[in-house]
């Protein structure tokens, strides 16, 4: 059984070992729980036969061995659970004092941030990066300018001709003194006016998006470095599990 007070000196050692210890101990505690649900393992007997008459038939003694003693099982449980409580308490206690500055390009952007918050920030910055990657960008095939009055990007005006269709009657065969003229309908496009179009967009320039992503990555690295620094905090082993479980079982 790992004893925290002897093996761990730094918070990062506790953090690295915590998951393994918890996984191993929970597996063993689950096995203990299964044993407790089998009362037959805790019961046994011995019996010998004595005939009433000296010449009576004899029978061999019978014996069923007790496989488990409840005190032994509870002792094992308490030992396992003590480690679970103590490693968690030690980690949480160290996290209360494990702090570090977040430094980007030599500038402190946040002071004395605790280790648990730094871990939270790492996950949050990953979410921020995903969000920024989804930001729509302006069509680079166009030339845009920013209109601060409406807070939108705009293109220069472009002009296009608006046409409409009109129907005409044309003479296919001229009239004669014997036959009237033969006419037909034809449709043609004629200019009606012009459209002036200005494209507007609330999207972002690609260069701006790249700059934001760069900042996210730099900050994420700074937070990770700060967390690693905070996790170098010396620990004071917290051993409360034994006294708590002794109160219950003794």
3 and 15 belong to one structural domain: yes
Q: Tell me, yes or no, whether 164 and 249 share the same domain.
A: no
Specify whether the CB–CB gap between 100 and 223 falls below 8 A: no
pTM score > 0.85 for this model?
no
242 lies in some domain: yes
Please indicate, yes or no, whether residues 39 and 71 belong to a single structural domain of this protein. Answer: yes
**Is 210 inside a domain boundary?**
yes
Which residues span the domain enclosing 192? Answer: 157-197
Domain count, the chain: 3
> What is the sign of the dihedral through the CA atoms of 181, 182, 185 and 191?
negative
Considering the chain, what is the average pLDDT of its residues?
89
Q: Is 90 exceeded by the pLDDT of residue 143? A: yes
223 and 121 Cβ atoms separated by less than 8 Å: yes
Q: What is the arithmetic mean of pLDDT over 235-240? A: 86
d(CA 234, CA 72): 35
Q: Are strands 107-114 and 99-104 parallel, antiparallel or unpaired?
A: antiparallel
Q: Give the model's pLDDT for residue 53.
A: 87
Averaged over 115-141, what is the pLDDT? 94
Query: Measured between alpha carbons, how far is 37 from 32 in angstroms, rounded to an integer?
Result: 9
Based on the domain organization, do 26 and 103 belong to the same domain? no
Q: Highest-confidence range of 52-66, 203-217, 236-250, by mean pLDDT? A: 203-217
Same domain assignment for residues 90 and 67: yes
Q: Are residues 225 and 242 in the same domain?
A: no
Whose CA is closest to 230, among 19, 3, 15, 21? 15
Same domain, 193 and 248: no
Residues 138, 235: Cα–Cα separation, whole Å? 52
Give the model's pLDDT for residue 7.
67
pLDDT of residue 1: 43
Question: Taking 60 as the threshold, does the pLDDT of residue 2 lie above it?
Answer: no
Taking a C-beta distance cutoff of 8 angstroms, is the pair 116, 230 a contact? no
Q: Are residues 110 and 226 in the same domain?
A: yes
In three-state secondary structure terms, 54 is coil
CB 67 within 8 A of CB 42: yes
Cα(23)–Cα(28) distance, integer angstroms: 9
pLDDT (tens digit per residue) in 161-197: 999 989 888 887 788 877 887 788 888 888 889 999 9
pLDDT in tens, 42-85: 999 899 999 888 888 999 999 999 999 999 999 999 988 888 88
Q: What average pLDDT does this structure show over 9-17?
A: 85
pLDDT at 227 over 80: yes
* Shared domain check, 88 and 40: yes
Token couple for 189? 């496009």
């Amino acid at each position: 059984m790992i004893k925290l007070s002897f093996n761990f000196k730094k918070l990062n050692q506790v953090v690295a070992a915590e998951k393994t210890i918890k996984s191993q101990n929970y597996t063993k505690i689950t096995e203990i729980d299964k044993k407790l649900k089998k009362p037959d393992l805790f019961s046994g007997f011995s019996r010998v036969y004595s005939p009433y008459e000296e010449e009576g038939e004899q029978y061999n003694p019978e014996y069923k061995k007790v496989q488990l003693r409840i005190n032994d099982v509870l002792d094992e449980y308490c030992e396992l659970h003590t480690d679970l409580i103590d490693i968690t308490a030690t980690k949480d206690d160290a996290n209360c004092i494990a702090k570090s500055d977040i430094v980007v390009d030599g500038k402190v952007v946040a002071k004395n941030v605790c280790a648990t918050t730094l871990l939270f920030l790492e996950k949050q910055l990953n979410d921020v990066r995903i969000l920024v990657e989804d930001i729509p960008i302006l069509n680079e095939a166009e030339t845009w300018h920013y209109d601060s009055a409406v807070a939108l990007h705009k293109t220069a005006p472009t002009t296009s001709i608006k046409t409409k269709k009109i129907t005409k009657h044309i003479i296919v065969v001229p009239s004669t003194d014997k036959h009237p003229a033969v006419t037909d309908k034809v449709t043609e496009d004629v200019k009606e006016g012009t459209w002036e179009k200005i494209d507007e967009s609330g999207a972002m320039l690609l260069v701006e998006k790249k700059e934001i992503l760069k900042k996210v990555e730099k900050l994420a690295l700074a937070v990770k470095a700060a967390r690693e620094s905070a996790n170098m905090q010396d620990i004071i082993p917290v051993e409360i599990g034994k006294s708590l479980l002794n109160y219950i079982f003794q």
